[in-house]
Amino acid sequence: MTRYDKNINNLFLYWLIISLVFIFFIIIVGGLTRLTNSGLSITEWELFKGVLPPFKQETWEFYFNQYKKIPQYEILNPEMDLNEFKIIFFWEYFHRLIARLIGLFFLIPLLFFYFSKSIKKEFISICFKIFLLIVLQGTVGWYMVRSGLINDVTVSHYRLSIHLGIAIIIIASIFWMILNSLKKTNRIFFNFKKQNIPFLILILLIFLQIILGAFVSGLDAGQIYQTWPLMGYTYFPNDLILSNKGDVINFENHSLVQFYHRNLAYFITFYILGLVLYIYNKRLINLYFAIKLVIILLLIQIILGIFTLLSGLNIFLASAHQITSVILVFSAINLYYFQTK
């Protein structure tokens, strides 16, 4: 490898790391946009037009009047004034602005690396797929917003979960590429060897838990029961009646969604404890540090989840709970990466 190629490869690694930081940041901003109910403040997509924020009073009045036409304003915020509107507007504006910057920051260097021919073709191919996911993410974001403009006061929790799910897939893919770049290897993520399956299952379980978390957030299901360890006075919510098989998968039911989210957390905890026993029983020394990281982050995540509920959904605790879930995904992927060695 020439010095030029080495410099390009180092630049490629730094680009991946900065991209990961950007996406991590937009996940935080997106979560806060949801928690502040700001996601419907801009009622048009405005892919190019909305790059700059309003500067004139007339423009602010226009956006505010557009917001007044949707159910969220009419039902939840009829007393809102223009200054209050500006607060929720800027949350959504910065969320969209960061998304645009991510798209440009990912595409332009990617084209440079492609034409430099110094980066492995496999890496470049994966990066183009990630870019397509970024474009899809923007489209899904508008698809999500549209669901709250006509009949509902908030966005569809199904569309919200898809939006968040794609973000997790993007950031997880970049994290895997960073690990490969650091180790100068090209390990395949979907390696279905028998010894890898338990670790892949852990990643899947955490991903499903994040999706359920999006359901809880989208439905505001955390407002139903704000007690722990019981839901009210019972383990199983007493306002829930399962009269047929279809009720078991009724993800419109706030209590049921919160119940599933809680219990999947318990299941993941026991599953990780099982992995700990497996790793130490097999004396997989190379996984000792990685599994300890998983345990520490799991404990932090559980504690944050409990205190988020008990605090009445404190916005800072809720945001920290979401942030830690992404870091927990990183730790699970890191554990799996060393397993595939």
What does the pLDDT look like over 124-134, one tens digit per residue?
Answer: 999 999 999 99
For 295-316, how does the pLDDT look when each residue is reduced to its tens digit (9 = 90+)?
A: 999 999 999 999 999 999 999 9
Mean pLDDT of 206-215: 97
**pLDDT attached to residue 235:** 94
Are 181 and 209 members of one domain? Answer: no
- pLDDT above 80 for 47: no
Would you say 221 and 171 are in contact if contact means Cβ atoms under 8 Å apart?
no
Would you say 331 and 300 are in contact if contact means Cβ atoms under 8 Å apart?
no
Are 195 and 314 members of one domain? Answer: yes
Are 203 and 290 members of one domain? Answer: yes
Instruction: Extract the tokens encoding 336.
Output: 């799996």
Are 296 and 262 members of one domain? Answer: yes
**Torsional class of 283: left (φ above 0), alpha (ψ -120 to 50), beta (otherwise):** left
Would you say 140 and 162 are in contact if contact means Cβ atoms under 8 Å apart?
yes
Are 281 and 215 members of one domain? Answer: yes
Distances (CA, A) of 78 to 64, 72, 74, 81: 12, 9, 5, 9
- pLDDT above 90 for 150: no
Mean pLDDT of 222-233: 92
**pLDDT attached to residue 5:** 67
What is the distance between the alpha carbons of residues 205 and 126, in angstroms, rounded to a whole number? 24
Are 4 and 68 members of one domain? Answer: yes
Are 153 and 60 members of one domain? Answer: yes
Choose one of 145, 170, 186: the last residue of a domain.
186
Are 109 and 208 members of one domain? Answer: no
Task: Give the number of other CB atoms < 10 A from CB of residue 162.
Answer: 19
Mean pLDDT of 217-234: 92
Choose one of 186, 205, 236: the last residue of a domain.
186
Choose one of 158, 186, 214: the last residue of a domain.
186
**pLDDT attached to residue 4:** 64
> In terms of residue numbers, what domain contains 307?
191-341
Are 94 and 210 members of one domain? Answer: no
- pLDDT above 90 for 229: yes
Are 38 and 172 members of one domain? Answer: yes
* Total domains present in the chain: 2
Give the position of tokens 């942030």. Answer: 323
What spatial distance separates the first Cα and last Cα of the chain, rounded to whole Å? 24
Are 208 and 276 members of one domain? Answer: yes
Are 124 and 272 members of one domain? Answer: no
